[in-house]
Amino acid sequence: MEESDYVSESTRAAAFRLKWDVFLSFRGEGTGNNFTDLLYDSLFSNEIRVFRDNDGMNWGDEISPSSLEAMEDSAAVVAVISPNYASSQRCLEELARICELRKLLLPVFFQVDPSDVRRQKGPFKEAIEGLEAKCGVEKVKRWRNAMERTGGISGCVYNS
C-alpha cells in the first residue's frame, strides 16, 4: 500500500467516525429558506449526511446544544452567508465556533460580495457596528475575525 492510499483510507475512516458529513449554517430570513432547502435536499439526495437545525428553531442568541454537538461531529461546514447573516448573533456565534474548531469551511456567498464579508462592509457594516454596543467589543471581535476569515476563503458566489 502506497502512502497516498493510506492517507485517503485514513481520511475516509475519519469521516465515517463522524455523525455528519456537513453542518449547514444559514440565516433563514436571508435566503427565504428556498435556497437553503434546495441545497439541503440536493446534499441529502446524494447521500450526504447533513445537519440543519431548523426544527423549532428560535433565532435567539444561544446555539442549541444539539447544534454545538453537530458542529463538532461534522467533517465540513457549508455556511450560506446572506445579506442578513450578520444580523443574527446566533449565526455569528456559529461562524466563530466553526472557525475555532478549524472545520473545513465551504462558504456560499448568497447575494453578497465576499470582500464585504471579509471587511464587514455593505450589508454587514451596520449590523456589526450595532452589535458592538449591545454585546461588547470582545465578543464582536471574535465575530469580525470569523467573518474576515470566511470572506477570505474561495467559496461559491451565488447572485441569482
The total of structural domains in the chain comes to 1
Cell numbers found for residue 142: 471574535
Cell numbers found for residue 121: 462592509
Helix (H) or strand (E) holding 26: strand 20-26
The domain of 57 spans 3-158
Q: What is the mean pLDDT of the chain?
A: 85
Distance (Å, whole) CA 68 – CA 114: 26
Instruction: Give the alpha-carbon dihedral of 112, 113, 114, 115, to 10 degrees.
Output: -140
- What is the CATH number for 81? 3.40.50.10140
Distance (Å, whole) CA 126 – CA 58: 23
Short-list 119, 116, 108, CA closest to 159: 108
Active site members: 94
Measured CA to CA in angstroms, residue 10 lies from 3, 21, 77, 143 at distances of 11, 15, 20, 33
What band does 56 get if pLDDT is binned at 50, 70 and 90?
Answer: very low
pTM of the model: 0.82
pLDDT tens profile 12-32: 555 568 999 999 998 877 675
